[in-house]
Amino acid sequence: MNDKEFYENYQNTYGYMYETECSLPFLFPHGLNIQDITRKWSQNALDSTFRSLTCLLVEHQYMPPKDNLLILKELANFDPSNLDGYAIWETHQFHLTEKGVALVKDCNLNLDSEEVSPLFKAKLTAMFEEHGVGFEKKAFVPIQY
Residue 41 binned pLDDT confidence (cut-offs 50, 70, 90): very high
- Domain membership of residue 142 (yes or no) is no
- Domain membership of residue 143 (yes or no) is no
Tens digit of each residue's pLDDT (9 = 90 or more) over 48-64? 999 999 999 999 999 99
- Domain membership of residue 144 (yes or no) is no
- Domain membership of residue 46 (yes or no) is yes
Q: Which domain does 56 fall in, by range?
A: 3-130
Q: Where would I find the H helices in 55-94?
A: 68-76, 83-91
Residue 35 pLDDT > 90 = no
pTM of the model: 0.94
- Domain membership of residue 111 (yes or no) is yes
Q: Using CA atoms, how far apart are residues 101 and 95, in angstroms rounded to an integer? A: 9
- Domain membership of residue 55 (yes or no) is yes
Q: Of 31-35, 36-40, 45-49, 87-91, which gets the smallest average pLDDT?
A: 31-35
- Domain membership of residue 138 (yes or no) is no
Q: Using CA atoms, how far apart are residues 38 and 55, in angstroms rounded to an integer? A: 26
Residue 30 binned pLDDT confidence (cut-offs 50, 70, 90): confident
- Domain membership of residue 137 (yes or no) is no
Tens digit of each residue's pLDDT (9 = 90 or more) over 72-93? 999 999 999 999 999 999 999 9
Number of domains the chain is built from: 1
Which runs of E-coded beta strand occur in the chain?
Answer: 22-23, 58-60, 93-96
